[in-house]
Amino acid sequence: TSALSATSKRSKHKKFCFVLVLSMSDEQGSAKRKPAHRFTIPQDVDLLKEVLTICPHDAPYGQTSGRWAEVGDRMRTIHGDSLSATGCRKRCDDLLAAFHKDSLASLRASGTDEQHHEREQLLQDLKALKRASKEDKGSREDKREARDPAVRAVVDLKRKAVEEDGESSDSDGATTPKKYSRRRPTILKESTHDVATFMSMMESTNKVRMEELALQKEVNAITARKLELDEKRYLLEKAEREARLALEQQERQMQIEFMRSTLDMMRAITKKV
């Protein structure tokens, strides 16, 4: 009986320790979890500008995460350490999805009407840029598919020439040296022609790639210029609004001063009378 009692106590003690460890683990996990960052409209605008500048959606293979990390670093520099690359990427995806469904109003964020309009314009630019990037990648894949059969054909021709050359060497007893000597220059000539054709194709391919890169740079330059002009227009409109507000305040102040001086004059006349 005493042995069973001791075993029962040890079992209860183990259960208590296990529950205590789980409780401590949950508390530590909840302490480590940070609340999700709530984006504002100005932060959305800055995020979209950084995405349009860094272009993580158009990154080469294996570099997408690195570019999003760069976006996160830039956003933390502007708006503080509460932002992360993962949060910025999710926010950008949510904005694009809401813009595609025409439900941006469902994403709660504070901002002025001008900031809302600027965010929509940036989303439109990002959507167009992603579509152009997708079409460009599809065009490159089509060209690669068209180019690969030609490359395989050149390789097959060279392999066939080598095999025929080997067969000619193996059957040296059945052929005369004169025929073999004629066959050898022919094979070399065909191989040289194939290599020249292949090199010409590679030059054409490189030329196309250079043109594509130049076009992409031009698109990026136009996008950057457009963003710069939009920012200047926004600052100009802001300055005009501030100047108009200051002028209205000045006019109201002058009216108040005029009314005050008129009242003082009327009081003075009344006292004299």
Predicted local distance difference test score (pLDDT) of residue 84 = 92
pLDDT at 168 over 60: no
Domains belonging to the chain, first-starting first, are 35-111 (1.10.10)
What is the reported pTM? 0.42
Q: Residue 11 is encoded by which pair of tokens?
A: 């079992």
Task: Encode pLDDT of 152-163 as tens digits.
Answer: 555 565 566 555
Task: Encode pLDDT of 119-157 as tens digits.
Answer: 889 999 998 888 888 887 766 655 555 555 555 555 565
For the chain, the residue count is 273
Contact between 147 and 201 (Cβ < 8 Å) = yes
Residues 6+ apart with CB under 8 A from 109: 38, 39, 40, 41, 44
DSSP code for 106: G
Task: Encode pLDDT of 186-238 as tens digits.
Answer: 555 565 666 677 777 888 888 888 888 888 888 888 888 888 888 888 888 88
